[in-house]
A = this chain, B = another copy of it.
């Protein structure tokens, strides 16, 4: 069970902003599972707003407008109508819902962290989980999806060689997941050196034989705040104030 230094087949060695590394557990064992988030605020949304404003100015100037300005105002509305995200990667129903929870929670988290950063509210987001032919399901990529979305919105890469797993809830709780042994084996095989695991999985991890954990540093968390601190500290990303 030696760990040759360069045998990793991990998709990313150093990942760009918007990418986070998770751990999946399948019938065939554990494996790293990346989440890629890309997004862009459509250019038309700014110019649109301007056009609307100038119309209003004109209309009020001569006071005779019959233009239903309200509905021109409501035109940007749909942009905010909840998650606007495309998700690909052969995801099952639970993982699809997990991506929606991740987006809602990342929006809440970002609003507290950087109130002026509205990227997640306005961008068209595409979340992809390679490899597209492999079916994926379950809620345990919640923390990974949340981190990928925040990494994209902050334009800061997640700390390298860190893999994470855990269901996330709308209030940021990090819930227990399955397959800790298989995920740990996968992490070692792929030369991960930092693991972020749910606090409620601590016993599962500690009962693994020590040689299976050699070379890994595991962090146990029960709130996403701590996942975030671990994933983004020393990257220049803003840190949340206080703790819970």
Seen from chain A, the residues whose Cβ lies within 8 Å of a Cβ on chain B are 9, 11-12, 15-16, 18-19, 36-38, 40, 42-45, 48, 51-56, 58-84, 86, 88-90, 93-94, 97-98, 100-101, 104-105, 107-108, 111, 118, 121, 124, 126, 128, 130-133, 138-139, 142, 167, 169-171, 173, 175-176, 200
Contacts and interface: CB of A to CB of B under 8 A. Distances in A.
Given A93-B90, A97-B90, A55 B58 contact: no
Find the residue from A44, A58, A93 having the highest chain B CB count within 10 A: A44
A73 B237 CA distance: 35
Given A73-B51, A171-B16, A171-B36, A138 B133 contact: yes
A45 B75 CA distance: 11
Contacts of A15: 171
B64 A75 contact: no
Contacts of A74: 48, 70-72, 74-76, 78
A212 to B, nearest CB: 25
Contacts of A18: 170-171
Given A70-B68, A86-B82, A170-B38, A51 B58 contact: no
12 contacts: A9-B200, A11-B175, A36-B169, A38-B104, A38-B170, A42-B77, A56-B58, A71-B74, A78-B81, A81-B84, A90-B97, A133-B138
Contacts of A73: 48, 51-52, 55, 70, 72, 75
Contact of A58 (B16, B63, B175): B63
B44 A55 contact: no
Given A69-B70, A82-B126, A90-B94, 19 more contacts: A12-B171, A12-B173, A18-B171, A36-B171, A38-B104, A40-B111, A42-B77, A48-B74, A48-B77, A51-B73, A59-B59, A59-B67, A66-B66, A67-B69, A68-B72, A71-B72, A83-B86, A126-B170, A133-B167
